[in-house]
Amino acid sequence: MTDPSQQSFHPGISMSGAVDLSSIQHQVAAQPGEKGGAPAAGGYVIDVTTNTFNAVVQTSTTYPVLLLLWIPDDDRLFPYAQSLADAVDRQNGAIQLARINIQQSPEIAQALRVRGVPVLYALIAGNPIPLFEGVPQPDEMKQLDEQVIPKIIESAHQAGVNGTAPRTDPVNGVDAQQTSEPSEPEIPPEHHQARDLAMQGDYAAAAREYHRLCETNPQDTLASREEAKALLLARSGSVDVRVVRQAGADKPNDEDTQLAVADIDMIGGQVEDAFSRLLDFASGHPASLDAVRRRLLEYFRICGESDPRVKHARRSLAALMY
């Protein structure tokens, strides 16, 4: 995949309010799903507005989401939207496609600093990751389908985001899965309050509630994992990734800065990078060993003790400590 920053944007509505007249020539009057119109939502594809966008950000802590910012009455974008929908549907709920009409929800485009459409992002645990700007060429679309989307799902799983997106009816928008199995593991009743707090974006309060559950039942491994995820998101879920990484490069010997960069790695699914960053830092800064140990133990809870990366990192941590 070419670097998105080096790709040209598709002509459309600019954030300054100027209208590209060529896009008007390609507008169609048909609604999505109607003959001659854009492909309809449905399956694992949903349409998102400003009012529902925050809910999508929260669900990205359960399963990964692709965000497509587009103009749904521009017929030049229809094949791309259909190809994305087909690619996502083939993953059977491992990822969701959320489409955002930039004309109806310009606030979202402004928040993401989008200069034109179409633009494609991945959303993992509330963290937007730029993927592609413009309409992909056939070989680039194949790469998105066969390599990029599976990699996003893998990264999400590594970050503990491994739930299943609901399948929706293209007309009614209701759950269309014909199965007796739930789309994701059932949440224990005692977890509902903590889960609701996390879905509302109050990760600090969610972490406190999960901690209370862990104290009540030390064997509750789900509460332990979710507490660690909530602590991570409370610290770093809304930071500017570029600022944090630049600070990490500028201050290689600063403990708090390196811990913050490791958090960003974890949220982005770069688990091995987070582990190695902290282990390498502790090796050269013995005074920071305890802080690194506590942060790594939190990460281990997110990944699970069966993860081979955790086993390897535990051995390395033990070697530093003893």
Q: What is the pLDDT of residue 170?
A: 55
In whole angstroms, give the CA distance from residue 2 to residue 131: 9
Q: What is the pLDDT of residue 121?
A: 94
Residue from 92, 88, 43 nearest 68 by CA: 88
Structure tokens at 275: 């582990």
- List, in order of start, the domains of the chain with CATH numbers: 4-158 (3.40.30.10), 189-321 (1.25.40)
| Residue carrying structure tokens 């305890």 | 290
DSSP, res 115: -
Residue from 110, 161, 129 nearest 241 by CA: 129
Q: What is the pLDDT of residue 32?
A: 64
The bridge status of strand 65-70 relative to strand 127-133 is unpaired
* Mean pLDDT, contiguous 10-residue spans, the chain (322 residues): 33 30 49 69 90 84 93 89 95 94 87 86 90 92 94 88 78 39 62 83 90 95 91 83 89 97 82 94 97 96 89 95 89
* Whole-number CA gyration radius for the chain: 21
Q: What is the pLDDT of residue 286?
A: 95
Contact 241, 127 (CB under 8 A): yes
Q: What is the pLDDT of residue 35?
A: 63
What dihedral do alpha carbons 208, 209, 210, 216 form, nearest 10°? Answer: 110
Q: What is the pLDDT of residue 270?
A: 78
In whole angstroms, give the CA distance from residue 46 to residue 63: 14
Count CA atoms closer than 13 A to 59's CA, side-chain side. 21
